[in-house]
Structure 1
Amino acid sequence: MLLFDGDCGFCTVCVGFIERRIRPAAEVLPYQWQDLAGYGVTAERAAHEVLWVRPDGTVSGGARGVAALLRSARGPWRPLGYVLAVPPVSWAAHGLYRLVARNRHKLPGGTAACSIAAAPPRR
């Protein structure tokens, strides 16, 4: 399952692309509709990064979550998911993810409601 910020216009636009083009083998749901405590996740973390929840309950967030999502898809997306998980590509993916997440309110579909704190959540 992929959990995203359903209150964020930019995130919703991205999810539309994911569902139309990537078509992962998973449900894509707003985190606001989920029992996050059941996954061992806080609302603060869910607002900070997209979350990939595997059937065994393991949670990956941010660029790692995106890589896991891509690995669940078919076609050219799957190999890209594996590439994104290997250093130094994974380091660059993490940096790019954080840059986009910090500025999502400025991107197409984004609004002031999409803005998040720059500091990462405590785990």
Structure 2
Amino acid sequence: MPTRPVLVYDGDCAFCSTSVAFAERRIRPRCVTVPWQWADLPSLGVDQQRAEHEVLWVTPPGVVYGGAEAVAKLLLSAGGVWAVAGALLRMPPVRWVARGVYRLVADNRDRMPGGTPACALPADRRPAAGAGTSSKRPD
């Protein structure tokens, strides 16, 4: 089991990778970030289908949050003003709107800045994919 929360994201998606890099650089969440393609998903209690569908926040005890809830947890972990934003994302009606906005962005990530057509493909059909994994390990 991890001793810190783990943020699992799609490492083959340029929009997702850019977003995580921004979070690491500017928000500085207290977690480990790992593309699902290189994560030990079974040990995290996550299946590949869910990891392909949304960003995931996995707590050390193994509780999994996905989508907008994962983003809220990331913000809460950073503390300060980011934690206030994270807390707001967890409160109704902001939570309901955040879920809808997250799903809209996730479903259209290939059209977002930095997104590529590969972001829209299932993992096993992406150009860099080999049996559902990236052919290049992230640095």
Fold match by TM threshold 0.5: yes
Paired position in structure 2 for 1:120: none
Q: Which runs of 4+ in 1 moved over 4 A?
A: none
Paired position in structure 2 for 1:91: 96
**Helix, strand or coil for the counterpart of 1:46?**
helix
Cα deviation for residue 103 of structure 1 reads 0.4
Mapping 1:20-99, distance limit 5 Å: 20-99=25-104
**Helix, strand or coil for the counterpart of 1:29?**
strand
State the structure with more CA Rg. 2
**Helix, strand or coil for the counterpart of 2:113?**
coil
Does 2:113 correspond to 1:108?
A: yes
Q: Which runs of 5+ in 1 are unaligned?
A: 118-123
Cα deviation for residue 35 of structure 1 reads 1.3
Cα deviation for residue 116 of structure 1 reads 5.4
Higher RCO (Cα < 8 Å, 6 or more apart)? 1
Q: Which runs of 5+ in 2 are unaligned?
A: 1-5, 123-139
Quote the Cα distance in structure 2 between the aligned partners of 1:28 and 1:35. 12
> Over the residues paired in the alignment, what is the CA RMSD in angstroms?
1.1
% of aligned pairs identical?
56
Q: TM-score, normalised by structure 1?
A: 0.91
Q: TM-score, normalised by structure 2?
A: 0.81
